[in-house]
């Protein structure tokens, strides 16, 4: 089993790698510290599984998973998070993650999640109940899409970077686009979401799980 680890904390990556490589049939072939890096590594290395932290700078785990699975749906993704909140779980499942493991139980559950993913199954930490899965499958999938789903992938990236405190010029530089395009994206995001200030955009992005209050 060929695995990439994506987490912005080096100590977490080291601990995961040590645990995984202790298994003779598992190999860590790459590590990434943010969402952009893991998207590029997935294209180059084509792993079997990616262990994906949800809260990462520049591009969060949900958006990284979305882009990776659009490019290669055969890759399995196991989400890592400190949070058992419904929003985080449903967003990761919605974009195609095969598992969701809480960091507080990481070393007990990750190997189980990896084996389940390779077997074509899903794995959720026991603290995340089956009721949540049923709600996702029967209600969320059948409901009206939220405003976040109306944004393009580029607009979601811009929204995350704005929420992380970058100015329009800094967003343009980070995404390799013109300041005019970045500003147009920001205005379109505000129009789509019905939000009229950067402070409100930041609160919205945190509430929707695009980023966390840590950045």
pLDDT tens figures, 70-93: 999 999 999 998 877 777 888 888
Considering the domain architecture, whether residues 170 and 75 belong to the same structural domain is answered as no
SS3 16: helix
- What are the tens digits of pLDDT across the range 131-143? 466 665 655 455 4
Q: What is the mean pLDDT of residues 111-136?
A: 79
Per-residue model confidence as pLDDT tens digits over 165-206: 899 999 999 999 999 999 999 999 999 988 888 888 888 888
Same domain, 72 and 14: yes
Q: Which structural domain range is residue 130 located in?
A: 2-140
What is the token pair recorded at 5?
A: 């680890």
> How many helices and strands in the chain, by DSSP H and E?
10, 6
Strands 2-6 and 49-53: parallel
**Contact 123/99 with Cβ under 8 angstroms?**
yes
146 is written with which tokens?
Answer: 């939220």
| Torsion angle in degrees (nearest 10) through CA of 62, 40, 108, 115 | 100
Asked if residue 9 belongs to a domain, the reply is: yes
Q: What is the mean pLDDT of residues 16-42?
A: 92
Task: Please tell me whether residues 105 and 48 are part of one structural domain.
Answer: yes
Q: Give the per-residue pLDDT at 206.
A: 83
At 99, is the secondary structure helix, strand, or coil? strand
User: Model's pTM, two decimal places?
Assistant: 0.70
Residue 136 sits in the same domain as residue 53: yes
Q: Which of 116, 140, 164 is where one domain is finished?
A: 140
Are both 112 and 172 inside the same structural domain?
no
Predicted local distance difference test score (pLDDT) of residue 46 = 96
For 45, 50, 83, 123, the CA distances from 205, given in Å and listed in that order, are 31, 24, 16, 27
CATH of the domain at 199: 1.10.10.10
Domain closes at, from 140, 168, 188: 140
pLDDT band at 214 (very low <50, low <70, confident <90, very high): low
């Amino acid at each position: 089993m060929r695995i990439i680890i994506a987490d912005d904390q080096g100590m977490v990556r080291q601990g995961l790698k040590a645990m995984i490589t202790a298994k003779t049939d598992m190999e860590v072939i790459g590590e990434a510290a943010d969402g952009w890096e893991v998207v590029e590594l997935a294209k180059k290395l084509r792993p079997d599984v990616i262990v994906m932290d949800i809260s990462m700078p520049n591009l969060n785990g949900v958006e990284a998973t979305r882009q990776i699975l659009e490019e290669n749906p055969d890759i399995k993704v196991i989400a890592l998070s400190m949070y058992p909140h419904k929003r985080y779980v449903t967003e990761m499942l919605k974009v195609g993650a095969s598992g969701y493991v809480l960091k507080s139980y990481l070393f007990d559950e990750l190997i189980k999640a990896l084996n389940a993913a390779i077997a074509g199954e899903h794995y959720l930490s026991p603290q995340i109940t089956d009721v949540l899965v049923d709600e996702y499958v029967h209600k969320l999938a059948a409901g009206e899409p939220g405003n976040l789903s109306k944004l393009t992938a580029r607009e979601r990236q811009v929204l995350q970077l704005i929420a992380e405190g970058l100015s329009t010029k800094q967003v343009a530089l980070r995404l390799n686009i013109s300041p005019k395009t970045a500003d147009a994206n920001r205005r379109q995001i505000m129009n789509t979401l019905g939000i009229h200030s950067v402070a409100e955009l930041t609160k919205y992005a945190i509430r929707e799980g695009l980023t966390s209050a840590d950045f």
